[in-house]
Every structure is written in C-alpha cells, then in structure tokens.
Amino acid sequence: MASAQEINRFRRNLADELDSAAVYDTLSAVEKDDERRRIFAELAASEREHASVWREKLAANGVTPPPHRRSAKTRLLQTLTRSFGPSLVLPTVAAAEYADRDRYAREPGAEKLSAQEQQHAAIVQAIVAKKREPEHGHGHGEAIGAAESWHKSATSGNDLRAAVLGANDGLVSNFCLIMGVAGAGSVNRTILLTGLAGLVAGACSMALGEWLSVTNARELARTQLAKEADELEHTPDAERHELALIYQAKGVDPDEARRVAAQIMRNKDEALNTLAREELGIDPKELGGNPWSAAVVSFFLFSLGAAFPTAPFLWAHGVTAIAQSVALSACGLALVGVFTSLFNGRSATFSAFRQIVIGLAAAAFTAGAGRLLGVSLS
C-alpha cells in the first residue's frame, strides 16, 4: 500500500494531467492550422493516457478520485485561448511543459511517462518557434535561432506577462498612495484628486519610460547591426569563423558547423540576420518593437490597474469609500495573482492569496505612515 504522501502525489499528478489535457483540447478546438490542430489533439490524448496511469495507481490503493474540477489556472488559459487565440498562451504552455519535463524522473514505474513529458516539452517548444518564423522562410542559421528563442518569450516577459505586471504596477502604487492620503485624514475630495492625479501621472511616467526604453533599445540595436555589417564587409573570414564557433557551442559537429557557416556567408543579408540573432540576440525585423505602441499599451494598462482603488471615491465617501477601495483593490490583486500563476508555476489560489497579502500589507504600511505624517504636520 502506498503512503498518504504518495496518495496525495498521485492525486496531484492525476489532476495536473487532466488539466493539461483540457488546455490542449481547447488549443486543438481553436487552432486553425490542420497540422497543429492534430498535434494538440494528440497531446491531449497523451495527457489523458498519463492520467489513467495515476487513476489506476489510486484504484490499486483503494482510492476512488472524485470527478475532476479544472483549476482556476486551467480555466483562465482556456478563456484566453478562446478569446485571443493560441499564440497568446502558447509561450506560457511551453514554459510550463519545459518546467515539468522531468517531473516524473524520480517517480518509480513512471519512466515511460517521464520520456513522454520530455517529448511533449520539445513538441510545444518547436510549435512556438515555428509560429515565430517569418512567412517567407529563412536560412538554416535563422531556423536555429527561432528554435532557440522560444524560451525568451516564454520565460522572460511575453505580452501577457507584461500586461499583467503593468496593471499590477498601477494598482499597487495608486492603492498605496490613496491609503497614505486617507490615513492622513484627508477629506474625500482630496483623496479622489490624489488618486486621479496618481493615475494620470503614473500612467504618463510609465508610457514615457516605456517609450524611452524601446527607443533606446532600437537605437542601440541599429548601432550594433551597423558595426556587424561593417565587420561582415571588411573581415568576412573572421565572421564566418565566429559563426561556426557559435554552432559548435550549440552542439553541432565542427565540420557541419563550418559548412553551415560557409553556406550562410554566401548571402550577406542572411549572414547579418543570423549573426544578429545568434551573437547579439537581436531580431532585425523588430529591433525591440514599436515605441509608440509600447507607450500606449503601458499607459492603458497602468491606468486600468490604478482605477481599481480610485473608483469608489467617485460614488462613496468617508469610511465607506475607503472600505470599498480596499475591497476592490483586493479583488484586483487577486486577479493579478491568478494571472501570475500562469508564469510562476504555483496554484492560482496561492498566487492570489499571496498577492492580496503583500498588497494589503504595503497599503497598511503607507496608511500608517500617512497617519503619522498627518498627526505630526497638523
């Protein structure tokens, strides 16, 4: 008989596999490309096969699991997939598969499952990389760059993550600002004006900061590309050797690496694109994105988050407004926590609770500071 700890692990594994199957079912239903739709359907079927293994292990120990209830994280991923398409959530799914690829490595009797989980991670990574390839195709070196770049989006700030963090910045900063002013004993009108001023000022600051960041990144990228183009023009042999070394570092056979490098160097544009991706980590087609769209999105997201603690003061007054601001901000913090669970590998409940506790603690601190300052200044 398995121990209580093992039984709980079997239950978690069963729930996780069924959740994964549900996500892949949704991806398959929404995906328009026939080949990818088929792959997602096969992945869903494979996850259900894995689930049956844990169901059988539970049954062997006299445990009948209750009907499966999808986790909040799974429901959120399914909703985002149906609303915005697979491209938005695929980097998150790829990151999760990559993180879980060795989850059964030390599980007795699960050697086959472990190998299949590693295969799933590789498949989803390849899909993410393939969807990022330019429509007109590219050379061998750029294909390698695309295959390697999936994790940059999946683990270091894809669009969804940036959106969540932008809204969180607005919510927490304005929540703390409002609670600080309220703690000082200010009247409702003053608190409302402070909240609106904080919303506008913070959103403008975020937008300007994002515009400067993207603009500077684009200018630096252009400078680096110009230097790389000059080196290609005047020292092509050194650049070919450097490119071959890059591929050797990736595990390519030295002779094959030199052959590929020589083939790429025949086309200077392709060589520049490949060196930019492989050596500089720059996508020549994007150069860090559009600064104006980044600024607009940052302004909107910060404003959205900052509106949560500010809104109650439009229709309520005094303690009632403060209580509603705290409650609405707590709801916003919970939503942020649920979204961050897509990236941090923790449960949605844990992430939401942690976000609420930290946010309320910060607001309580600023309210106390405002109270002390209000008393001392009066």
Q: Are 95 and 154 in contact (CB under 8 A)?
A: yes
- What's the first-to-final CA gap in the chain, in angstroms? 70
Output the pLDDT for position 308.
Answer: 95
Task: For residues 97 and 114, give the distance between their C-alpha atoms in angstroms, rounded to a whole number.
Answer: 12
Report pLDDT for 132: 52
Rounded CA-CA distance 97/123 in Å is: 10
Distance, in Å, from the CA atom of 274 to the CA atom of 138, rounded to the nearest integer, reads 9
**Which segment of 95-109, 149-163, 343-357 scores lowest on mean pLDDT?**
149-163
Ordered domains of the chain (ranges, CATH): 4-131 (1.20.1260.10), 153-377 (no CATH)
Q: Has residue 288 got a pLDDT over 70?
A: no
Using 50, 70 and 90 to split pLDDT, how confident is the model at 156? Answer: very low
Of 117-121, 258-262, 339-343, least confident by mean pLDDT is 117-121
